Amino acid sequence: MTFRSSIRADSPISAVLYHYGQITCFLIFLALALGCTDKDGRGNQSADVTLTVAFKSVEGLREGDTVLFDGLPIGLVNRITYNQQGRFEVAVRIKNEFRAALIESSRFYVGDNPGTPGQRALIMANLNQGGRPLDTAKVIEGTTQLSVIIEKGQRGVTEFLDVFSKKITSLTADLDKPSSEEQLDRLSKEIDAAAAHLEDEGQSSKEYFREQILPKLEKELNRLRQHLESLGRGAEIKPLNEKMNNLKKKLG
């Protein structure tokens, strides 16, 4: 036995059922769309974070350079522009898995990329272990490695000197290699950069550097000088000594 619908296609009931079906389909589509949208409303659960950092000078940083955090590559420099205020704006993309590392105490500065000699990197350092999320909608003011060291206090000094000491150790081990000249040149440029950054620091920061950091830097350079002299290459330390004398003048 066959049953046939007694509702005609042009009847009022048919029209109601048709419109009801359309509304139901729309609600299902809307629910699916909302379910696929993340908290940022971009429809992508793995969306990267974009932000902009402003600097007075980019110090050799280029588009495509790496963003580093605790030595790990966490993003890339997308674009560098020069604004009407005479500042460089560095547009950055950070991998979504490092979103939680972006906090209010995050600082950004330009430094060497240890994984790629001769290449610069945008380095992110956190003054604290935790805190409120960084407001990435605003332009973030860039800083210098020296300022980060001073902000961190004794912990920052210890970290900085540990890295500097390792560079000296690596350099003394490679003095018989052609790359040693390049390493000496990079070391010289780092001292130059520290001297330049000190010009923007207040008197209290300069005193801190002079008392807490400078004596230890001189100790490490003296270690390098002794090693060079033992190889009959003592003259190669003279440019570094001149840089250190210039640094002392900046400190007053």
pLDDT tens digits in sequence order for the chain, 252 residues long? 444 444 454 555 445 434 445 555 544 454 444 444 444 444 444 689 999 999 999 989 999 999 999 999 999 999 999 999 999 999 999 999 999 999 999 999 998 898 887 799 999 999 988 899 999 999 999 998 888 888 887 777 777 777 777 777 877 777 777 667 777 887 787 787 777 777 777 788 788 888 888 888 888 888 888 888 888 888 888 888 888 888 888 777
Q: What is the pTM of this model?
A: 0.63
Backbone angles phi, psi at 6, to 5 degrees: -90, 0
Helix (H, G, I), strand (E, B) or coil at 195: helix
Cα 137 to Cα 140: distance, rounded to the nearest angstrom: 9
Q: What is the DSSP string of 18-46?
A: HHHHHHHHHHHHHHHHHHT--TTSSS-TT
**Which residues sit opposite 121 in a β-bridge?**
111
- The owner of tokens 């002079």 is 210
Supply the DSSP symbol for 174.
Answer: T
Helix (H, G, I), strand (E, B) or coil at 3: coil
